[in-house]
Amino acid sequence: MPRSTASLLLVALSIALAACAPNSGHVADGDDAVAADPPAAAEPAPQAPAATEGCDADPVQSLVGQQADDALVEQARTGAGAEIARVLKPGQMVTMEYRGDRLNIDVDEAGTVTALRCG
């Protein structure tokens, strides 16, 4: 490889690596360092709501072992004080977001309630 090609390749590699380097937030201007605009303040990460926010599965634990039909699901939802309820079957894909006002009703393959929990 000719020397000029190797030099050009080295310069290109140096520029590419410099582009990946973190920015210190300062811009050099001769001997004076001038602070760049500060980055926007990051919003705090959302906190998971408290487990008692609209749902309490303790009062409906007696429904474990019963068949999950529409009437039982509604009884469980109102008994837990939940805004909504969802029935979760084995292997079913579900969203993983936490909702303090939702009752999750786990059932087995036969539709029998195996667990009730909020979230």
Look up residue 14 and give its two tokens. Answer: 């140096």
**71-109 tens-digit pLDDT:** 999 999 999 999 999 999 999 999 989 999 999 999 999
What are phi and psi for residue 104, nearest 5 degrees? -100, 130
pLDDT computed for residue 22 by the predictor: 54
pLDDT of 79 reads: 97
**Residue 72 contacts residue 63 (beta carbons within 8 Å):** yes
- CATH number at 58-118: 3.30.10.10
CB 106 within 8 A of CB 116: yes
- pLDDT tens digits for 29-56? 444 444 445 455 555 554 444 444 689 9
Residue 27, Cβ neighbours under 10 Å: how many?
12
Does this model's pTM top 0.75?
no
